[in-house]
Structure 1
Amino acid sequence: MKPVVKIGAFAAALAATFGTAYGVGNAVGPVSPDDDGGHGGHRETAAHAQHTPGAKKKTATDETPGGLQISEDGYTLDLETTRVPAGRPTTLRFAVRDEDGRPVTEYRREHEKELHLIVASRDLTTFRHLHPARAADGTWSTTADLPAAGTYRVFADFTPAAGRENLTLGADLAVTGPYAPEALPGTAPTATVDGYTVRLTGSLAPGADSGLAFEVTRDGRPARLQPYLGAYGHLVALRSGDLAYLHVHPHEEAHGSATSGPEVAFTAAAPSAGDYRLFLDFKVGGQVRTAAFTVHAGGGTAVPEEEHGDSGHSH
């Protein structure tokens, strides 16, 4: 993933008709185990990035933000499942195919994984960061439990071994069932999840790098953050309206059993003015939780300031 954040946009309206493609063949014995497990929880987004030597960095001013295209640079996200039921664990299968239609089987590890799978609802009220297993034939599979009906965006974030840069490809997924869209949560400086309070400082600026810092406490006491995906926190950012996906660069790497805290910082760049949803994954006491924030980047009208009692979502 990249040192500079790419922010994904959230679509304000959900499609009434669910036409999604989930592509690939059946999985054959897992080669890349989901050692962290899929992250459940009603979450809202996060961004990650670690620059691979020799890779070309994309910036906030690049013409097309990540996640808006199903194909890029000769690679295609092929989804097999076109729709899944709401509120029921379902296996998602997919593959990343090269320009000859063959499943990619070799990847560079980014943030300790070959591929990160993000699933977010178009209204940005449901978020999942999943770690699928790759079979020997190059197909991937994972289980997801999506609580509410609507249109979702699936993001595959990866760096092919034969490629020179990280890619984020996206495709729509339909979740069937009674549907009631939710409004984008209002902006607020803090989010609470499972008794932990996360405070955000910093801001997003259109077309420029800016700093974002998150402080985690419980009952007023600093939390001890544990390494997760090569850092003390993992951040995903999506842009409201189109779900443009931003890669965010953590200021500090972290591995093994070392702890730090209570703050984790990132550098991010918004490709445009508008509202964004930030999803911070953090690990304390061996459990990963997600805190979500709505922020506004320059110009226009910000989402009204509004405190929410529980803006975070556990895995």
Structure 2
Amino acid sequence: MRNHSGDDQTNRGGHGSHGGHGGAQPGGLSVSENGYSLELDSTLLTAGVQPVGFRVIGPDGQAVAEFTPEHKKELHFIAVRRDTAGFQHVHQVRDEKGTWSVELALQPGDWRFFADIHPVGHDGTMTLGIDAAVAGPYDPQPLPEVTGIAQIGEYAIALDGELLAGETSELTLTVSRNGRPVTDLQPYLAAYGHLVALRVGDLGYLHVHPEGEPGDGATAPGPRIAFMASAPSAGTYRLYLDFQHDDVVRTAEFTVRASATTPRPDAGSQAAPEHDGRHHGDHAHH
């Protein structure tokens, strides 16, 4: 299981490092780390769908143009508004000089952008974070209630397990469509699911991936996707699961509370009443 935070002490093995580093600081809390910095073309943006340019500046003061790919990408870019709405895990392109461009759908408010990177020559991965302001009337959304079920059109995603502070635990997400288990999930970035966890309050970033990978002879393409994760502290977290089915990448969102105590052996799912349609982040990426 890969539990990714930006703390270099827990990531010297790179993006494939195993979790279980209880109490490690999450990533993305700093714009600079280990001599590398995240730089936007502009931190003042307009609302709407638009390209956003950025670069990673290295210890030599120049834009970094060589990265070690992780999960088939040189860089993973995450955008989320400070109220945890509008989550986007987007694909980006880079020119030969090290400037990247991503297309984001932005609503007014304060946003946090994350770059998940492994520069060539550095001994592991890191996550840098930077704020941007999007002009316009800001309508912050309340934090969605804790739930174990996310509904996205015909799809229902059930979350089972408990996130623990300072202790590795298993989270299992089960995908069904119209009440039937989905057993033909498609690989997306070399996995059947990608899970990002953000700590509510400071948006501390955790990036986790399932054990195994498509084509390894042991990992089934659904309906269950298992993750091992460890929260850096007790508190409330937002979980975002990306999965691909029928050639569409969808994102299921959950609000969970990380406990400081070990769950009871008979603890079941955190399932809540059926989704009421107010979940502000459910969406599909084409």
Assess same fold via TM > 0.5: yes
Letter in structure 1 aligned against 2:213:
E
Give CA-to-partner distance per residue, 1:244-267, whole Å, 9 cap, x none.
0002131121269x9711111111
CA distance in structure 1 between the partners assigned to 2:90 and 2:75 by the alignment: 9
Letter in structure 2 aligned against 1:123:
D
Query: In structure 2, do the counterparts of structure 1 residues 53 and 118 end up closer, same or farther at CA, with 3 Å as the change threshold?
Result: closer
| Equivalent in 248, 254, 268 of residue 214 of structure 2 | 254
Query: In structure 2, do the counterparts of structure 1 residues 72 and 58 end up closer, same or farther at CA, with 3 Å as the change threshold?
Result: farther
Matches within 5 A, 1:3-22: 3-6=2-5
| Equivalent in 195, 203, 215 of residue 154 of structure 2 | 195
Q: Give 3-state SS (helix, strand or coil) of 1:160's partner.
A: coil
Match of 1:122 in 2: 82
Deviation at 1:54, TM superposition (A): 9.6
Q: Give 3-state SS (helix, strand or coil) of 2:174's partner.
A: strand
Query: In structure 2, do the counterparts of structure 1 residues 99 and 264 end up closer, same or farther at CA, with 3 Å as the change threshold?
Result: same
Letter in structure 1 aligned against 2:283:
H
CA distance in structure 2 between the partners assigned to 1:54 and 1:215 by the alignment: 23
Match of 1:208 in 2: 167
Query: In structure 2, do the counterparts of structure 1 residues 196 and 56 end up closer, same or farther at CA, with 3 Å as the change threshold?
Result: closer
Is the 2:19–2:228 Cα contact (8 Å) retained in structure 1?
Answer: no
CA distance in structure 1 between the partners assigned to 2:199 and 2:80 by the alignment: 11
Deviation at 1:84, TM superposition (A): 1.7
Letter in structure 1 aligned against 2:2:
P
Letter in structure 2 aligned against 1:73:
N
Give CA-to-partner distance per residue, 1:20-51, whole Å, 9 cap, x none.
xxxxxxxxxxxxxxxxxxxxxxxxxxxxx9x6
Specify which structure has the bigger relative contact order, considering alpha-carbon pairs within 8 angstroms and separated by 6 or more residues.
1
Is the 1:55–1:165 Cα contact (8 Å) retained in structure 2?
Answer: no
Matches within 5 A, 1:126-275: 126-146=86-106, 148-223=107-182, 224-254=184-214, 260-275=221-236
Match of 2:239 in 1: 278
CA distance in structure 2 between the partners assigned to 1:247 and 1:54 by the alignment: 11
CA distance in structure 2 between the partners assigned to 1:102 and 1:55 by the alignment: 28
Give CA-to-partner distance per residue, 1:193-249, whole Å, 9 cap, x none.
121000000110001111111111011111121111111001111000000000213
Deviation at 1:58, TM superposition (A): 8.9
Is the 2:2–2:211 Cα contact (8 Å) retained in structure 1?
Answer: no
Indicate the larger mover: 283-292 or 51-60: 51-60
Q: Give 3-state SS (helix, strand or coil) of 2:159's partner.
A: strand
Unmatched 5+ residue regions in structure 2? 262-271
Is the 2:190–2:214 Cα contact (8 Å) retained in structure 1?
Answer: yes
CA distance in structure 1 between the partners assigned to 2:79 and 2:237 by the alignment: 16
The CA RMSD over aligned residues, in Å, is 2.6
Match of 1:59 in 2: 21
Q: In the alignment, does 2:276 pair up with 1:309?
A: yes
Unmatched 5+ residue regions in structure 1? 8-48
Is the 1:231–1:255 Cα contact (8 Å) retained in structure 2?
Answer: no
Query: In structure 2, do the counterparts of structure 1 residues 238 and 263 end up closer, same or farther at CA, with 3 Å as the change threshold?
Result: same
Is the 1:228–1:254 Cα contact (8 Å) retained in structure 2?
Answer: no
Query: In structure 2, do the counterparts of structure 1 residues 203 and 53 end up closer, same or farther at CA, with 3 Å as the change threshold?
Result: closer
| Equivalent in 97, 106, 109 of residue 66 of structure 2 | 106
Output the TM-score relative to the length of structure 1: 0.78
CA distance in structure 2 between the partners assigned to 1:57 and 1:181 by the alignment: 33
Task: Give the percent of matched residue pairs that are identical in Structure 1 and Structure 2.
Answer: 45
How many residues are paired up? Answer: 265
Query: In structure 2, do the counterparts of structure 1 residues 54 and 130 end up closer, same or farther at CA, with 3 Å as the change threshold?
Result: closer
Match of 1:25 in 2: none
